[in-house]
Structure 1
Amino acid sequence: MQLDAPREADLEDLHRIYSDARTWTHLPSGRFADLATTRSALDRWLEDWTVHGLGAWVAREGGVVVGHGGCAVRQDAFWNLGYRFAPEAQERGLATELSQAAITAAREARPELPVVAYLLEHNAASAVVAEKVGLILRHRGPDAGNPDPSAVRLVYSDRELSDQELAATMR
């Protein structure tokens, strides 16, 4: 798998992944409904690279975009680890491979910031990835802002989180 910073030319491929309902089984409301939503997200991802020198990568296999993910600074308080893969690229260990590379890069770029992965409790596959890459469950509670009032958020991190750092993951 090749990991590259996103480019303007990746817009259509990223939209293919982020608009596919099969990539949003754990959070259907998160699906990108139109190209404008993907465009806005791509602008934020490009800004992460400009401002912090690191952000989420575009994952390619044989030149084909199969996913997107990595670590991005959020609220200047933590590195947020996240990813999304095309359905045909799931369940092949790519999320673990990408996550390991992302944690290494984040620790090199700004080691003072914790690496955090937050996910919904029913997303067992993402919890397994978080644990495989050495993150530890630090918090379990309501997922504020989720359209499903019964949704539970899990927060994993590479170290203990201060109250302020944990609060930043809830925004």
Structure 2
Amino acid sequence: MLKKFSRLITAFDDFSEAGIRRSAQRFGRRNFLSILGGALVGGTTLPMLPFNRSGGRAHAQGADDDTACEYWRYCALDGFLCTCCGGTVSSCPPGSEASAVTWVGTCQNAHDGKAYLISYNDCCGVTSCGRCPCNYNVGERPGYRMGVHNDINWCMANDRGIYHCTVAAVIGVSAGG
């Protein structure tokens, strides 16, 4: 039994060595290092990219109160409003930090008729706020399309992955609006 196992390991070693030698003859170290470096740099920037989950333009709600779910910026927000939890419409409350990954939606402001690009950032690191829950699903898609699904804990990319609340920062005017 031990002899069979030893032959199997030797065969695996020989196969691995032959594959590595063939690879070394075809590709140089510099080529390997450039591919590896590109993958490492590209992999670190991927979590910083925002997700476009607008799925088309959402129309504004009429309320001017940023502590109400009907406020126009919240057209695609699912979570607790940071304005009810010690933060503002665009900044996290003290003690929490913005998620490294965000989702983006397009909401139309009823006052000026323009469509704005909204970055929804979950604020992370402290226990859930639990006040002013909102659940707007305009443009949301099933969970298998992560970038257009708002039921995800976007704090997963942070060191402190506990969800607290969500902010809705205007990051620009939509090209179509």
Q: TM-score, normalised by structure 2?
A: 0.27
More strand by share: 1
- TM-score where L is the length of structure 1: 0.27
Q: Whose helix fraction is larger, Structure 1's or Structure 2's?
A: 1
Q: Which has the higher contact order (CA 8 A, sep 6+)?
A: 2
